[in-house]
Chain A
Amino acid sequence: MNSAAESTREPIGQAVVFGLLAALGATVLVSSFGYGILRDGDRVGPGLLPMVVGLLLLLLSGWQLVTRLRGSTRGPVAAAPVGPETDVLGRTQARRIRQLRMVVVALPITILLVPVLGFLPAFGICVLFICAVVERRRPVQALLVTAVAVAVVYGIFGVFLDVPLPAGVVGDLFGS
């Protein structure tokens, strides 16, 4: 991906986010009435603050959405600078984006696997995946990093702090 395409995408991304926030504000504003704006004696009810916050979110986000769609110079949000095309490790932007996507997909899959495999085994596999596949480390290096990471975390949280990390279905099977 080149930086020109990147720079075109950033304002679009901002506009999309402001559109979503404005929609969220509108939804909150409408639903706040269901909670009751005022209580007995005209006192503040559970819906008053959501109503005000929803309205503010709608107005503020709507304002920014409009300014970005108009391409106005007022209230611009500079996009974060795009990293170098190739970093010191020789990774191109395209590769870094691929790495990012893999990590973002791996994390929720890992969380879903926790009830089955157990907490540390699931996240251990995730760390191994990141080291071996995402970072393309040698198998021995990847295994070593995973073993150290899991051991450190198990030592601190599992043993020292006595946190009951889920064993999962597999762990229960082995345990019984």
Chain B
Amino acid sequence: MFENILLGFETALTAENLMWCFVGVLMGTVIGVLPGLGSTTGVAILLPLTLGLEPVTALIMLAGIYYGAQYGGTITSVLISTPGEASTVVTTIDGYQMARRGRAGAALSISAIGSFVAAIISLALLIALAPPFAEFALSFGPPEMLAVMVLGLATIVSFAGDDKVLGATMAVLGLLIAMVGVDTGSGVARFTFGSVDLLSGIPFVEVMIGLFAVGEVLHQIREGAAAPIRARFRDLMISRSDLSRSVAPILRGSLLGFLFGCLPGAGSTLASFMAYGIEKRVSRRKSEFGSGAIEGVAAPESANNAAANANFVPTLTLGVPGGATTAVLLGAFTIYGIQPGPLLFDQQPALVWGLLASFFIGNLILLVLNLPLAPVFAQLLRVPYGYMYPLILLTSVVGAYSISNNLFSVWVVFLFGLVGYAMKRLNFPMAPLVLGLVLGPLFEKALVQTSAIGDGNLLILFTRPLCLSVLVVAALLLLGPSVIATLRPGRRPAAADREPATTRKVDQ
């Protein structure tokens, strides 16, 4: 273990990797600040930029964008009540209220500190748990992998908000989109309508750029601009009382975030909502929640950062993404010719441990950058969106084109931009669609292999104990809440504990 950590730091601390880690974190923060650009969009748009880099360097930069954007998103949540990231939606509740009371600096500072502490705790857990988990995952055959993917889909559907049927519909739609193209098992072309471009399927990264970048730009044009609140340097001072009030929420948020982040498909948004809900329940200052309680910022911000790191547990060890952004990162792994999964730790130790070590370094850079520079980043909000979105559109289409040097990619971006816009307007959750899209090919491959192992009998899924256990957990996640609600009809969850309807429009 110690040798591996040393190898990781040796890899991450090279001048080139350090520089790209810094670039990633900085760009991530800026991307998180810009309305309409989240970590998923940022990673998708900037992925083509990394094609000329070494895989480990590229992944270090992309991961830097991921967790940098988590913090950048907080800045807009606090200053203009507009989450730059889905995982910072819940921060708007108390963060914006703190800003309105002239305490924007304290909110931003506690976010930076909480995120840093959470990152360190979750990374220690990630380093300790991921290798044994990968070892354990080596015993997974196709049926177990199939069951894990069912669990991933069940998790994301069960947390898709009030409407699980809608979440399931989106996941199924994602699976359907993934089926377009030549079936790898049989060589049969499906739903290609004679198009040569469709033979290799609908390109995943282009779909992501369309859904998240173009879709969000169109949505923002429709929504109009909001008025920001300025954060001055002197406002950043945080009091001792603020810190002491935040210690326990940060620790609780970190642990909760890590647990939820480990679930394939759960994502960091869910973790932040759960952390806020729990904090509100256990806090001695319940009445302050919703009107500017610092605990309401510290807990979800710690949780979303811990979950972002924990998302790498299923991504690296099973090859099943933890959330939407890790789904895009999974696509990046594939582009670089790397297959995430249990063998990755043995086959690519420098890459895996270098990536994990870069998280430590990146989070340190984030803290150093964000404590003093948050007001500077916040100035980006003063640039009118009308100036920014033409550049976002241009970067999106050129980035998409550069992946395969094909104009078809640009059409995919445009069409899925319209789909993304429609989904935002109609408040349809995007995360289930993304997960379905990513898992589609893996799901079908595991299904075909399972069928071959069972000589055509898929019931072998229920004869393998591990497989059966995972499927039971998936069924409980999907059906448990409904069964409990049916058995106890008089008891309904408190309105405040439910995910606000308006937040469902943002992706996990």
Contact = CB atoms under 8 A, between A and B. Distances in A.
Q: Do A and B come from one complex?
A: yes
Interface of A: 10, 13-14, 17, 21, 24, 28, 31, 35-36, 38-39, 41-46, 48-50, 53-54, 56-57, 60-61, 63-64, 75-81, 83-84, 86-89, 91, 93, 96-97, 99-100, 103-104, 107-108, 111, 114-115, 119, 123, 126-127, 130-131, 135, 137, 145-146, 149-150, 152-153, 156-157, 161, 163-166
A89 B384 contact: yes
B169 A60 contact: yes
A123 B186 contact: no
A80 B424 contact: yes
Contacts of B427: 77-80
Contacts of A49: 175, 179, 443-444, 447
Contact of A135 (B386, B395, B410): B386
B390 A46 contact: no
Given A86-B224, A88-B225, A161-B49, 15 more contacts: A10-B425, A24-B176, A35-B183, A46-B183, A57-B172, A60-B168, A60-B172, A77-B163, A83-B222, A83-B224, A84-B224, A107-B414, A123-B394, A127-B390, A157-B399
A67 to B, nearest CB: 9
B163 A75 contact: yes
A162 to B, nearest CB: 8
Nearest to A84: B224
Contacts of A64: 165-166, 169
B451 interface: yes
24 contacts: A13-B422, A17-B428, A21-B173, A28-B191, A43-B448, A46-B188, A49-B175, A53-B172, A75-B165, A75-B166, A76-B162, A78-B427, A80-B505, A89-B225, A103-B217, A104-B218, A111-B410, A119-B398, A123-B397, A135-B386, A149-B390, A153-B394, A161-B402, A166-B407
Contacts of B458: 44
Contacts of B410: 111, 114
Interface string B478-508: 0000000000000000000000011011000
Contact of B225 (A28, A87, A93): A87
Prevailing SS type, chain B contact patch: helix
A63 B165 contact: yes
Contact of B395 (A45, A145, A153): A153
B3 interface: no
A27 B221 CA distance: 34
Among B176, B417, B444, residue most surrounded by chain A Cβ atoms (within 10 Å): B176
Nearest to B505: A80
Contacts of B386: 89, 131, 135, 137
Given A35-B188, A156-B49, A80 B502 contact: yes
B343 to A, nearest CB: 25
B405 interface: yes
Given A28-B176, A137-B386, A77 B426 contact: yes
Q: What bracket does the count of chain B residues touching chain A fall in?
A: 35 or more
Contacts of B176: 24, 28, 50, 53-54, 57
A152 B391 contact: yes
B310 to A, nearest CB: 30
Contacts of B428: 17, 77
Among A46, A86, A108, A137, residue most surrounded by chain B Cβ atoms (within 10 Å): A46
A122 B80 CA distance: 35
B221 A103 contact: yes
Interface of B: 48-49, 51-52, 162-163, 165-166, 168-169, 172-173, 175-176, 179, 183, 185-186, 188, 190-191, 217-218, 221-227, 384, 386-387, 389-391, 393-395, 397-399, 401-402, 405, 407, 410-411, 414, 417-418, 422, 424-428, 443-444, 447-448, 451-452, 455-458, 501-502, 504-505
B426 A149 contact: no
Contacts of B444: 49
A123 B165 contact: no
Contacts of A89: 224-225, 384, 386
A15 B163 CA distance: 15
A14 B425 CA distance: 10
Nearest to A137: B386
A158 B42 CA distance: 20
A5 to B, nearest CB: 14
Contacts of A152: 391
Nearest to A135: B386
A100 B222 contact: yes
A161 B401 CA distance: 12
B229 to A, nearest CB: 12
A119 B405 CA distance: 11
B457 to A, nearest CB: 8
A104 B52 CA distance: 33
